[in-house]
Amino acid sequence: MPVSAQRYLVPVISNDEIIADHRVLTCHAPEVAALARPGHFVNVSVGDGYDPFLRKPFSIYTVDRERGEISMLFSIVGATTRGMAKKRAGDEIDLVGPLGGKIFQPDSREGATHVMVGGGYGVPPLVFLSKELLTADPGANIEFIIGARHKDLLLCEAELAEAGVTARMTTEDGSHGMRGRVTDALRLVLEEQSGNPVTVYCCGPTPMMHAVSDLCLELGAPCQLSVEVGMPCGMGVCMACVVDLADGRRVRCCTDGPVFGAGEVIW
């Protein structure tokens, strides 16, 4: 269900590079931290005027509700992220959140295995989901698959290990982990889990999510996909994030999503 999103000017706590051109920005946003759940996002503005004019959406990477902090993991690819990369502790950042209508719904079946499949910017919200699952149930069964073109682009392996989650890494060039794509590893995991309750949660580049959705439909595995498109307002007003669904409807990703089931979205 949608939550009551607000605009906040919040102080930056830290802004650390984790790999080349990728940073984690942590800010003190207690109101957002209190309400944020896996699948929610925030919209960020870094300009003092009209450049950049539109806000950019970022998945929430970590939440510390006790300290009132949230973090975003981002790659430096445009004006907004270049502005974010320049922020230092004590600077302010302008954000709206938490945003999102339909978010991840963890599988509540007894003994269920939660399979995370992420690539690039799609990994952070799945790390958030994994940590929330482990907080609720330290014995939760989590399989995590992370994919990238080569090893220098892989994210969050160490962070997941610290949380007690061993990730299966895939690279297209075979430079780290399994050679191939996330769907190759996912097929193996689903075959291993055959006969057991399982749900797949996915976020990443659109072609990857399309392939994961198709595989889950083929193998009959429930799948929830967090679709990340431009969502400038985040509140369903600007209509910039409309996606086409298989049932013929055209819906707003920001308020009717961003999480959809396998087979729902026309890719």
Backbone angles phi, psi at 124, to 5 degrees: -50, -50
Give the pLDDT confidence score for residue 230 in this predicted structure.
Answer: 87
Burial class (CB in 10 A: 0-12, 13-18, 19+), 267: middle
Looking at residue 203, its pLDDT comes to 98
Between the two ends of the chain, the Cα-to-Cα distance in Å is 24
Task: Specify the amino acid at residue 4.
Answer: S
Rounded Cα distance, 122 and 118, in Å: 5
Structural domains in the chain plus CATH codes: 6-99 (2.40.30.10), 113-261 (3.40.50.80)
- For residue 145, the model assigns a pLDDT of 98
Residues making up the binding site for [2Fe-2S] cluster: 233, 238, 241, 254
Beta strand ranges found along the chain (DSSP E)? 6-19, 22-28, 41-45, 56-59, 62-64, 69-75, 92-99, 113-119, 141-148, 167-171, 178-179, 198-203, 223-226, 242-244, 250-252, 259-261
Indicate the residue type of 33: A
Distance CA 198, CA 113 (A): 5
pTM over 0.85? The answer is yes
Cα→Cα distances 91→26, 65, 197, Å: 11, 21, 46
Is 106 within 8 Å of 129 (Cβ atoms)?
Answer: yes
Contact 140, 114 (CB under 8 A): yes
φ, ψ of residue 211 to 5 degrees: the values are -65, -40
User: What pLDDT does 50 receive?
Assistant: 66
Q: Position of tokens 């061993």?
A: 166
What's the CA gap between 80 and 54, in Å, rounded?
9
Q: 3-state DSSP call for residue 130? A: helix
pLDDT along the chain (267 residues), means of 10: 79 95 97 97 85 88 98 94 96 96 95 96 96 95 96 92 93 94 97 94 96 97 94 89 94 95 93
pLDDT computed for residue 1 by the predictor = 44
Binding residues: 233, 238, 241, 254
Q: What pLDDT sits at residue 54?
A: 87
Longest CA pairwise span in the chain (Å) = 56
Residue 114 CA: distances (Å) to CA of 106, 190, 202, 229, 249? 8, 11, 11, 24, 29
b/e map of 208-217 (b: 16 or more CB within 10 Å)? Answer: bbebbbebbe
**Token representation of residue 80:** 């907004």
Q: Residue 59 — φ and ψ, nearest 5°?
A: -65, 150
